[in-house]
Chain A
């Protein structure tokens, strides 16, 4: 039995003519849009009142009544680097998918590894950033900036972590030769999730870090 025939038996044609697994991941991504929209809306609603509580603040220095001075806490260059790597990781994962569809295992494994490396850097950057902020005195309930900020970026970081785990699984399968062109859709679904994580950050980065 050929690969195509086996594939056809495994996934019979659907009423829409589309693979239901791909439709499912798109539906999931659609629902995730609403999830992140609620978090972004909450952040924006409180953004105008971030100085209602004590500092530190993201962009401005602040001196407490007891004389303690807080510098602005955002480190834009580091987050910009993380953003650039996340964008490049989207580019790398489409090249990996391109390799999977052509049956080029070397291209698949190489670009997938590069994608994972970028994702891990991003997660590491966020762990560093959160730790740094807590050491600077910005706890979860410190002011009206901190709670929505940690919730929004923390949920995004969790999504990136899940994406990295998914991609590592795909990498192990690819190394074992279990991602042939007939099963490239398995990687395409992981790639779609990864791109979604990227587009969410495309919105979060300017909204949280660049708007004052």
Chain B
């Protein structure tokens, strides 16, 4: 019985090859982030910069989420480990995102409502 219940955590972690591939992807994604910043804010205000500027924040958030997921899934072994660990991590993470969005929305609304009154 004890051996049966102990089974969920006995998953093999990936080997060095997988870790190297993930490291390379993380490096490329970081280079894209910084490269995008240089293009948008220091490049010519036309061409690629003009195309990228309106969606730059969204692109940054997407790249950041990708890197976050890769580290959590492969380096923190959430992909292979017991689902309970994922639950314990992902549930507060969802609350965290909701807190960030709610607070920003609240302050934006407050600024919108109070601006004509208080300046």
- On A, residues with C-beta under 8 Å from B are 13-19, 22-23, 26-27, 29-31, 33-34, 36-38, 40-42, 44-45, 48, 59, 76, 80, 83-84, 87-88, 90-91, 93-95, 97-98, 101, 191-192, 195-196, 198-199, 202-203, 205-207, 210-212
What are 30 inter-chain pairs, A to B, with CB distance below 8 A? A15-B5, A16-B82, A16-B84, A17-B7, A18-B82, A26-B88, A26-B89, A34-B92, A37-B96, A37-B99, A38-B99, A40-B100, A42-B103, A76-B34, A80-B34, A83-B30, A84-B30, A87-B67, A88-B23, A91-B19, A95-B19, A98-B13, A195-B76, A196-B76, A199-B71, A202-B64, A203-B68, A206-B33, A210-B33, A211-B60
| Besides A13-B5, A202-B64, A205-B33, 10 other A-B contacts (C-beta < 8 A) | A26-B88, A44-B104, A80-B34, A84-B27, A91-B22, A95-B16, A95-B19, A195-B71, A199-B68, A210-B33
Complex Cα gap A203–B95 (Å): 16
The listed residue (A36, A98, A205) touching B15 by CB distance below 8 A is A98
Q: B50: CB under 8 A from chain A? A: no
Q: B46: CB under 8 A from chain A? A: no
Distance (whole angstroms) from the CB of B65 to the closest CB of chain A: 9
The listed residue (A45, A91, A191, A206) touching B103 by CB distance below 8 A is A45
The listed residue (B23, B41, B56, B64) touching A203 by CB distance below 8 A is B64
> What total of A-B pairs shows CB separation below 8 Å?
142
Contact at B88–A30, with CB atoms within 8 Å? yes
Q: B55: CB under 8 A from chain A? A: no
Main secondary structure of the interface of A (DSSP, over half): helix
Q: Considering the complex, which residues of chain B in the window 18-43 have a beta carbon less than 8 Å from any beta carbon of chain A? A: 19-20, 22-23, 26-27, 30, 33-34, 36-37, 41
Distance (whole angstroms) from the CB of B69 to the closest CB of chain A: 9
The listed residue (A97, A198, A207) touching B71 by CB distance below 8 A is A198
Contact at A90–B71, with CB atoms within 8 Å? yes
Contact at B75–A90, with CB atoms within 8 Å? yes
Distance (whole angstroms) from the CB of A187 to the closest CB of chain B: 12
Given known contacts A37-B100, A195-B75, A30 and B89 CB-to-CB distance under 8 angstroms: yes
Contact at A212–B93, with CB atoms within 8 Å? no
Given known contacts A33-B96, A91-B23, A192 and B76 CB-to-CB distance under 8 angstroms: yes
Q: B72: CB under 8 A from chain A? A: yes
Residue picked from B15, B23, B34, most chain A C-beta under 10 Å: B34
